[in-house]
Amino acid sequence: MIWISFSSNILILLTAFITLRIHSSHINHKEFIWFVMFTGISSGVAAFGHLPLVDERLANSLLFASRLFSLGSIYFFTSGSINFASFWNNKMIRATNVILFIISGLVLFWNNQFLPVMIYGIFGFMGIGLSVYFSDIRDASQSKYLVVRGIGTLSFSALIFVLFKENYHFWAINISHIMMSYSLILFSRGFVRLNPQDKKISSQS
């Protein structure tokens, strides 16, 4: 059972680097490359941090590093989305994103729990993310649709984990990991099609 959960975490890491190898040269917004990369690294580090074979102090350090990478991945997603969006030059949104990132990081340093990552993720994906890609519903491009599907899949995976982690931890965590892997495929395909012309159209709307 332990090694299945380990493998599902590694699956996210492999998915991240395979999709980057295929798509990175075609992604115009480099923040999205860092988002996919940090998500993969976070899961790879967490895979070892959750192993009972690892010394407890080392495991706690690995889990802290994994959560820090997760915060970074969310920050890069939100930054890339803000840069793409019609409100890309809105200083208040940019400042709010930075402040929430810093606060989440401080809380993580204080208690080393996954909660600040989840809260910042809700803001980054459900708040900024959906606002960005629905900001001009008339320009409902395939790229936006894929990214929104990625957000939905990632959010649903988190919901499954939160709802069922107590009674069905094994199934919840592994189904969540598989869905996260799939979301990275959706994200990377969408990021490839988010091009400067899309941004120009959005900024003029």
Summarised one tens digit per residue, pLDDT across range 12-25 is 999 999 999 999 88
Residues 67/117, Cβ–Cβ less than 8 Å:
yes
Distance separating alpha carbons of residues 155 and 153, to the nearest angstrom: 5
Confidence of residue 52 (pLDDT cuts 50, 70, 90): confident
Does the reported pTM lie above 0.95?
Answer: no
Residues 117/108, Cβ–Cβ less than 8 Å:
yes
10 Å CB burial of residue 88 (0-12, 13-18, 19+) is middle
Domains of the chain as residue ranges with CATH: 2-204 (1.20.1070)
Q: What does R_g of the chain's alpha carbons equal in angstroms?
A: 17
pLDDT tens per residue across span 84-119 = 776 566 778 888 889 999 999 999 999 998 889 999
Max Cα-Cα span within the chain: 55
